[in-house]
Amino acid sequence: MSHSGNTTCVPSADFQIYLFPVVYSLVLMLGLIGNLVALYVFVFRIQSHNASDVYIINLAVVDTLFLSTLPFRIHYHLHYNQWIFGDLACRITGTLHFTNIYLSIAFLTCICLDRYIATVHPHTYLKLRSTRYTQLVSGILWACATATMISLTLSGPMDGALETNHSSCFENFSVDDWSKRMVAYNICALVFGSVIPFTVIMVCYPLVARRISKIRTATSRKALRIIFVILAIAVFCFLPYHITHLLHLLMRMQIIRDCRLSDIIYKLRRVTMAMVSLNSCLDPILYYFATSKFKWKCNFSFSFLKCLQPGRTREVYTIYKSH
């Protein structure tokens, strides 16, 4: 937000005019290619899917939806945060943009839980590995996200007008807007989109790593590296965003009133919003390494990228794996 809750403080971050277009353009270019190729491979080339595949497909869809909003955000920031597409377009693209951030971490958490059960409770995993359960969980997550997006879209205008007749999108809400409708959404986002997922990830991944470390094979060592890569990307992309989101919420609720601190929080929020978008172009790398048992054979040409069907072997990483 350009304004803190205190009317005497006006935080600013002029560098965002350059930061967001550059980062978003890079993410859009790399992420769109990577996620579309991943969707093509997982949907059309793989005949039978396991639980992880279902979550990966959903995550790729979430990333693609998020990426579809970036051209609007690039235009918005290139024109000095001037929104020209109208209130309805702001509501739709804005809710897609921010809701899918939390939907992404939700599906990453599901992948984490899936691997946790597969490694720490292998017998239970064999009973629950049916894709019906993962489809049910995915459906619940999508239903919650859709309900949130509809609620936000119908709750009122999202293109705040400034004194200079600038029309902004999903920022510059008045103190009254924050107190009546935005505080509740932001608290729910922090609890269900940050605290719970990161608690699960931080608890599950060390347990999974400890279990896999007991399997002294090349495959298990590679799986262990994958776990730490996933954890590192989650911490790099999402954790800074959620921490600054909390500070931003405290600032807008006027719990944090210091003008200098408010300005720092605003600038950090701009940087972390750019960082969280990097997840969409890093996820395809995770798809590849997380399914490293695939033998990807990709042929590149001038006009198209064609991926041949990967050969697949199915393995459950447990300490019962033979050496």
**pLDDT value at position 19?**
94
**pLDDT value at position 301?**
39
**pLDDT value at position 264?**
93
Tens place of pLDDT per residue across the chain (323 aa): 344 344 467 777 788 889 999 999 999 999 999 999 889 888 887 777 777 788 889 999 999 999 999 999 999 999 888 889 988 888 889 888 888 889 999 998 888 888 778 777 777 777 776 778 889 999 999 999 999 888 888 876 665 555 556 678 888 777 777 777 788 888 888 898 889 988 888 887 787 777 777 766 655 666 667 677 778 888 999 999 999 999 999 988 888 888 899 899 999 999 999 999 999 999 888 787 766 444 444 433 333 444 444 444 444 444 444 44
**pLDDT value at position 215?**
67
**pLDDT value at position 291?**
64
The 3-state secondary structure of the chain reads CCCCCCCCCCCCCCCHHHHHHHHHHHHHHHHHHHHHHHHHHHHHHCCCCCHHHHHHHHHHHHHHHHHHHHHHHHHHHHCCCCCCCHHHHHHHHHHHHHHHHHHHHHHHHHHHHHHHHHHHCHHHHHHHCCHHHHHHHHHHHHHHHHHHHHHHHHCCCCECECCCCCECCCECCCHHHHHHHHHHHHHHHHHHHHHHHHHHHHHHHHHHHHHHHCCCCHHHHHHHHHHHHHHHHHHHHCHHHHHHHHHHHHHHCCCCCCHHHHHHHHHHHHHHHHHHHCHHHHHHHHHHHHCCCCEEEEEECCCCEEEEEEECCCCCCCCCCCC
**pLDDT value at position 130?**
72
Task: Give the number of other Cβ atoms within 10 Å of residue 199's Cβ.
Answer: 11
Task: Give the number of other Cβ atoms within 10 Å of residue 89's Cβ.
Answer: 15
Q: Is 82 exposed, middle or buried (0-12, 13-18, 19+ CB in 10 A)?
A: middle
**pLDDT value at position 125?**
75
**pLDDT value at position 120?**
77
1-27 in b/e form (b: 16+ CB < 10 A) is bbbbbbeebebeeeebeebbbebbeeb
**pLDDT value at position 72?**
94
Distance CA 137, CA 54 (A): 10
Domains of the chain listed by start with CATH number? 16-293 (1.20.1070.10)
Distances (CA, A) of 262 to 11, 123, 181, 285, 319: 6, 51, 21, 36, 50
**pLDDT value at position 3?**
41
Phi then psi for residue 167, to 5 deg, are -105, 110
